[in-house]
Amino acid sequence: MSTSGDTSKADRWTRLEHLFAEARTLTGQEREALLARELHGDTELEAELRSLLRADEGAGRFVDALREEMLDPELDGLLARAPGEMAGDPWIGRRVLRYLIEDHMGGGGMGVVYRARDMTLGRSVALKFIAPEISRDADVKRRFLREARTASSLDHPNICTIHEVAEDEEGRLFIAMSAYEGETLRDRLARGSFLESEARSIMAQCAAALSAAHDKGIVHRDVKPGNVFLTDAGAVKLLDFGLARTVGAPLTDPAAVKGTIHYMSPEQARGEPADERSDVWSAGVILFEMLSGERPFAALSPLVTVRHILTLELDVRARLPEASDGMVGVVERALSKDPAGRFANGSALLHALGTAG
């Protein structure tokens, strides 16, 4: 039986949904007039509504940007192909500076990855060619190179080693990284959840990597299963600091939404700057997913997913019935919607994982 409190909460959410549906079609003075007319000084409801409206705008920009990256004709459709469908790829066998390209490894919104041979040092590497729109804007290109080279200074056993950040003869940006044998956490999660001990070990190594980055003022900003690599040797490597930004560096577009929607922190979803605590949130989402086999805020559309991230109060104990109390506490704190309630950085998360029973 529903309590009066439950009914009141449901009625409030219904009202919020109706107001949101109307307000998102308006702009400027018309929107402000609607809010003044309908909210009657309800500051809490106004804050929730404005947060959803900001997220709606941010999610739209994110989806549009992702679509542009994935459909960019200069990538010749490579991003949409699986590695096994690369027969006849003209890049195979091609030499780029001192690297001989041997095979296609994968791709995503940020670019295409090939396995290559460093002909000077005689080692296998992964070459990530960055999506061409990065190169078109000189300021964006300079910032990317600066941030990628800052990330390349990270030296930690749980961080993928970056050997070089450079341009080829035709001005294409690429990153030369260590190549590992194994699979991404995303691929492993497709086969189901983990035992708590396994999830703890993987996340502890991720937290150690984040701790090393955060200690140098570097925020990853795109922590997700596709950027966590599980090597055949049993090590965990955090990949792709291509979206990393030194803490405090100004944003070209403060409202730009970066990262991947399911793993975005609430502040990222609102288009606000991300700091170390945003990485902690993303790590918390991954930890929940490893324990349950499900994403905690998943929905049928990007907008509803963002709304869940911003407003859905997660009952972690109910969703993780087999997890220890200590692990539930770690997940709950990592997924605090208020950044002040989260672990401050990777080091604090690592310590909590070590003491959770």
Q: Is 275 a catalytic residue?
A: no
Are 266 and 319 found together in one domain?
yes
The pLDDT score that the predictor gives to residue 251 is: 38
- The continuous run of DSSP H or E covering 307 comes out as helix 302-311
Are 344 and 201 found together in one domain?
yes
Is 80 exceeded by the pLDDT of residue 353?
Answer: yes
Residue 225: give its domain's CATH number.
Answer: 1.10.510.10
Are 116 and 226 found together in one domain?
no
- 3-class DSSP assignment, residue 31: helix
Lowest mean pLDDT among 130-144, 263-277, 328-342: 130-144
- Please name every residue paired with 159 in a beta bridge, in sequence order, or none if there are none: 238
Better-predicted residue by pLDDT, 31 or 286: 286
Q: Please tell me the pTM assigned to this model.
A: 0.74
| Nearest partner of 331 among 28, 319, 148, judged by Cα | 319
Report the range out of 108-117, 126-135, 174-183, 206-215 with the highest average pLDDT: 206-215
Taking the CA atoms of residue 135, residue 254, residue 111 and residue 229 in that order, the dihedral angle to the nearest 10 degrees is 140
- 3-class DSSP assignment, residue 323: coil
The pLDDT score that the predictor gives to residue 35 is: 85
> Which residues constitute the domain of residue 145?
74-178
Residues 133-140, mean pLDDT to the nearest whole number: 73
Instruction: List the catalytic residue out of 118, 222, 275, 279.
Output: 222
Is 80 exceeded by the pLDDT of residue 206?
Answer: yes
Are 78 and 58 found together in one domain?
no
CA-to-CA distance for 342 and 212, rounded, in angstroms? 18
Domain count, the chain: 3
Residue 193 pLDDT level (bands cut at 50, 70, 90)? very high
- Tell me the torsion sign for CA atoms 14, 20, 25, 27: positive
Is 70 exceeded by the pLDDT of residue 299?
Answer: yes
| Nearest partner of 260 among 51, 62, 113, 111, judged by Cα | 62
- Tell me the torsion sign for CA atoms 237, 240, 243, 248: positive
Among 50, 71, 92, the domain-final residue is: 71
Tell me the two tokens of residue 266. 């609430």
Are 66 and 95 found together in one domain?
no
Is 70 exceeded by the pLDDT of residue 23?
Answer: yes
Is 90 exceeded by the pLDDT of residue 204?
Answer: yes
Are 252 and 348 found together in one domain?
yes
Better-predicted residue by pLDDT, 285 or 64: 285
Among 26, 51, 71, the domain-final residue is: 71
Better-predicted residue by pLDDT, 353 or 8: 353
The pLDDT score that the predictor gives to residue 118 is: 96
Residues 284-297, mean pLDDT to the nearest whole number: 97
In order, the DSSP letters of 74-139 are GGTTGGGS-GGG-TT-TTTT-EETTEEEEEEEEEETTEEEEEEEETTTTEEEEEEEEPTHHHHSHH
Is 80 exceeded by the pLDDT of residue 143?
Answer: no
